[in-house]
Chain A
């Protein structure tokens, strides 16, 4: 790989992926805010939670997505937002895989009415793409840790 941690290209990749994820999350959350009743029905289609659970998800998740997305753009909570966004994406992917395995024939409901009908498979690949973007968010820290470890090992060798 020609792109090294700390290089200008890498820093921009991190910035752009953060921005794209923020946009995706704010749009996804925003599209569901207007009609929690309809979103609760969407959640029920996955047949994973009882109605009361679907209601909690329908009321809470849209705002969690919006704040998680916005948090990625605001330095003081960026680390937390990165965690929220990653955990949410992992959960969504898990839910979609479970729907695929059960052969559920449904429209994902991920972006409310913002996009046209999206099949579970399409939604899965979209989530997969977004998960790949989150890798960039974690990369600087990971790279930093690797640097620290190699530096420490280097110190040991010296000593």
Chain B
């Protein structure tokens, strides 16, 4: 019986710093998650998907060369004529496609995703938070 009481005590005691974190921690999470824009997807959801995910990097060529998600194909509107056929060679119907860009090139992923959809490629998503979110999750790469 004392075991249960002590466990309750530990539970309550740990809630105190927890509550302080909720109020003051500089990295405290918000109670409401950032809403997804149409066509957007969270990295957490992508990681839960089964099957191949086709990554598309819509940032500039220079940013892509500095680092990108493994297997990601560089495809932006400028490189479209050369890169779109490469994309088509890799892509398989039914595969999910996730496009990302960086914080400084925020609209680029939407542009590419829209163009892919216009060409009848379904299951195209834009990664919420883009490259920065991906990078934060994979700091070593």
Contacts and interface: CB of A to CB of B under 8 A. Distances in A.
- A touching B, CB within 8 angstroms: yes
A45 B46 CA distance: 9
Contact of A66 (B9, B14, B22, B25): B14
Nearest to B138: A117
Nearest to B25: A36
Interface size class of B (residues with CB under 8 A): 35 or more
Given A51-B32, A63-B17, A84 B47 contact: no
B15 A60 contact: yes
Contacts of B21: 33, 36, 59, 63
B69 to A, nearest CB: 15
Given A45-B48, A47-B48, A64-B11, A113 B6 contact: no
B13 A67 contact: yes
Give chain A's interface secondary structure class: helix
Interface string B86-120: 00000000000000000000000000000000000
B28 A59 contact: yes
A76 B6 CA distance: 9
Nearest to B34: A51
Binding site of B, secondary structure by majority: helix, strand, loop or mixed? helix
Q: Which of B5, B6, B139, B140 has the most CB of A within 10 A?
A: B6
A36 B2 contact: no
Contact of B29 (A33, A55, A68, A71): A55
Contacts of A102: 48
Given A79-B2, A79-B3, A35 B27 contact: yes
B10 A36 contact: no
B44 A79 contact: no
Contacts of B22: 55, 59
Interface in B38-64: 42-45, 47-50
12 contacts: A33-B21, A35-B27, A40-B29, A41-B43, A55-B31, A63-B18, A68-B14, A76-B6, A79-B3, A83-B7, A102-B48, A104-B47
Given A59-B29, A80-B6, A105-B50, 11 more contacts: A37-B27, A37-B29, A41-B43, A54-B29, A55-B30, A59-B21, A67-B14, A71-B10, A80-B10, A84-B11, A116-B140
